[in-house]
Amino acid sequence: MRPLYPLVLGAGLIVAACQDQPEPTPEPAEPPPPRIEVETPPEGNSIMRPEVLAESEPLPPLPEPIEAQVLFGLGEVALTDESRAVLDALIEGKALDDGSWWLTLTGRTDASGDPETNERVARERAEAVRAYLVEQGVAAARVEVVAAGEPGPDAGTVASPMQNRRVDIRAEARRETP
């Protein structure tokens, strides 16, 4: 049998070596994030400051769109006195020059003539209306011209070809530029 002395001596040296070493200090734990207390407002109240809340009040509703028509004779593109009176009433009735109104002018023709001529005439009619409105103070940038040309298959709702020779005007109040 072998003597146990060398084993015991070796074990004693290991234990002594471990005792000489300082004990590792634990890493400091990260502090928890600060707690933010949120007060729940009473039912129906806002958490926004009153001055911010006042700035975010709902905007009043926009006025309803306005629609009008200017009629033209066969092949004509010039405005008549009657057409100018319709446009003047439109401008005076709503302050279309105040910057919130945007207009779409849709030129139309009857079914007589070829489609290319009808589209050209429709555009010229709408451009004549646009020129008059701009001359009266409506900003050109707020007027869109559309040439629809001759009526489509649903034109049966219009009573006469004269009523197809027209410019449809739609004025809409907007809060933002398109």
Q: What is the pLDDT of residues 80-115, one digit of tens each?
A: 999 999 999 888 876 665 667 889 999 999 888 888
Q: Classify the phi-psi angles of 177: left when phi > 0, otherwise alpha if psi is within -120 to 50, otherwise beta.
A: beta
Residue 112 falls inside a structural domain: yes
Residue 2 falls inside a structural domain: no
Residue 149 falls inside a structural domain: yes
Q: What is the CATH number of the domain that holds 151?
A: 3.30.1330.60
Q: How many domains does the chain have?
A: 1
Q: Widest CA span of the chain, in angstroms?
A: 135
Residue 178 falls inside a structural domain: no
Least confident of 11-15, 40-44, 155-159, 162-166: 155-159
The residue whose two tokens read 């006195």 is: 81
Q: What Å distances lie between residue 169 and 4, 56, 128, CA to CA?
A: 113, 34, 12
Residue 54 falls inside a structural domain: no
Q: What is the pLDDT of residues 157-169, one digit of tens each?
A: 555 656 789 999 9
Sort strands 66-71 and 101-108 into parallel, antiparallel or unpaired: unpaired
Residue 84 falls inside a structural domain: yes
**CA-to-CA distance for 128 and 107, rounded, in angstroms?**
10
The residue range of the domain holding 108 is 67-173
Residue 47 falls inside a structural domain: no
Residue 14 falls inside a structural domain: no
Q: What angle do CA 86, 70, 119 make, to 5 degrees?
A: 155
Supply the pTM of this predicted model. 0.61
Strand partners, 106: 146, 168
